[in-house]
Amino acid sequence: MQSSPLTPGDPAAARADGGRTGRVPRAEREQQMLDAAVLVFSRRGFHHANMDEIAELSGVSKPMVYAYLGTKEELFIACLRRESARLVSGLAAAADPTLPPDQQLWRGLKGFFEFVGAHRDGWSVLYRQARTQQPFSAEISRMREAVVEVITDRLDGALRQEGRQVKPDDLTAMALTLVGASESLADWLADHPDEDPGRTATRLMNAVWLGADQLMRGSTWRPPTP
C-alpha cells in the first residue's frame, strides 16, 4: 500500500498557495490550511492523513497548523464545518418555503447534487468518514438531525396548508429515506464523473416522490422547464 504525494513534481508548485511564501495574514493562511486539510483528509482518510503532509501542502510548518487550527481532530472538524456551511447556505437559498413541496424537494435535491458534483472529492468524502469515525459522530449527528428537521418541517408545513397531517415518526422516516437515498446516490455520482447532477436529482425525485409503485406503472416525474 504505497502512498504517493498528492501532487507530484516540484514541491513548491504542489503547495496550495501556488508557491507563495513569507508572511501571510492569518485569515488567508487558515484558508490555505483548510484547503490542504480537506484535500489530504479526503484522499487519505482521517487516520492515514498525516499532519506533515497537510503542513507541507499549506506551505507552512507544522507548528503553525497547530497554532492556528489546533489538533488533528479539531482541524478535521474545522474542515467539516466549513464545507457543511457552504452546503447549507446553498440549500437554504435553493428551497424557498413558499414553493409547493415537490418544487422545494426538487430544488433541494438539485442543489445538493450540484454541490456534491462540484466538490466530488471534498464534502462527501469527509462526510462519510465523519459518520463512522467515533470522535466526529456527535458533530455529524447534529448536522444530520438539522437537515432531517428542516425536511420534516417543510413537509409538515405543506401538509398543514392542505389541512392534512401525518404521524411524526412517519415524517421522520420519510426524511430519513430522503437523506439516506441522497447519500447513496451522492456516492454513486461521485463514482460516475460523466453523470450530470441534475439527472441524478431527477432520478431520485422519481424514486421518492412517485414511489416505486407509480414508477412501475409508467408514471414519470419531470423537472419543471426553467
Partner DNA sequence: TATGAATGAGAGTTCATTCAT
Partner DNA sequence: TATGAATGAACTCTCATTCAT
Cell numbers 501556488 correspond to: 18
- Phi then psi for residue 8, to 5 deg, are -80, 170
Q: Which is nearer to DNA, 51 or 181 (CB)?
A: 51
- DSSP state string for 41-52: HHHH-TTT--HH
Q: What whole-number distance in Å separates Cα of residue 117 and Cα of residue 107? A: 15
Nearest C-alpha neighbor of 83 from the set 25, 145, 39? 39
Decide: is 210 part of the binding site for its own copies (CB under 8 A).
Answer: yes
Q: Which stretch binds its own copies (CB under 8 A): 54-62, 79-87, 89-97, 184-192?
A: 184-192
* 101 CB-near residues (< 8 Å, 6+ apart): 154, 155, 158
What are the grid coordinates assigned to 199, written together? 439527472
Query: Residue numbers of the site for DNA (CB under 7 A)?
Result: 22-26, 29, 48-52, 60-64, 66-67, 71-73
Decide: is 50 part of the binding site for its own copies (CB under 8 A).
Answer: no
Q: What whole-number distance in Å separates Cα of residue 60 and Cα of residue 63? A: 8
Other Cβ atoms closer than 10 A to 210: 16
Decide: is 42 part of the binding site for its own copies (CB under 8 A).
Answer: no
- For the bound state, the minimum distance from the C-beta of residue 109 to its own copies, rounded and expressed in Å, comes to 11
Q: Which is nearer to DNA, 8 or 63 (CB)?
A: 63
Q: What whole-number distance in Å separates Cα of residue 84 and Cα of residue 129? A: 14
Q: Which is nearer to its own copies, 143 or 181 (CB)?
A: 181
Decide: is 214 part of the binding site for its own copies (CB under 8 A).
Answer: yes
Query: Which of 35, 40, 182, 197 lies at the binding interface for its own copies (CB under 8 A)?
Result: 182
Contacted by 88, from DNA, its own copies, none: CB < 5 to 8 Å by type: none
Q: Which stretch binds its own copies (CB under 8 A): 8-16, 76-84, 85-93, 197-205?
A: 197-205
Q: What whole-number distance in Å separates Cα of residue 6 and Cα of residue 8? A: 6
Q: Which residues of the chain form contacts with its own copies (CB under 8 A)?
A: 1, 44-45, 47-48, 101-102, 105, 128-129, 131-135, 155, 158-159, 162, 164, 166, 169-170, 172-174, 176-185, 187-188, 200, 203-204, 206-216, 218
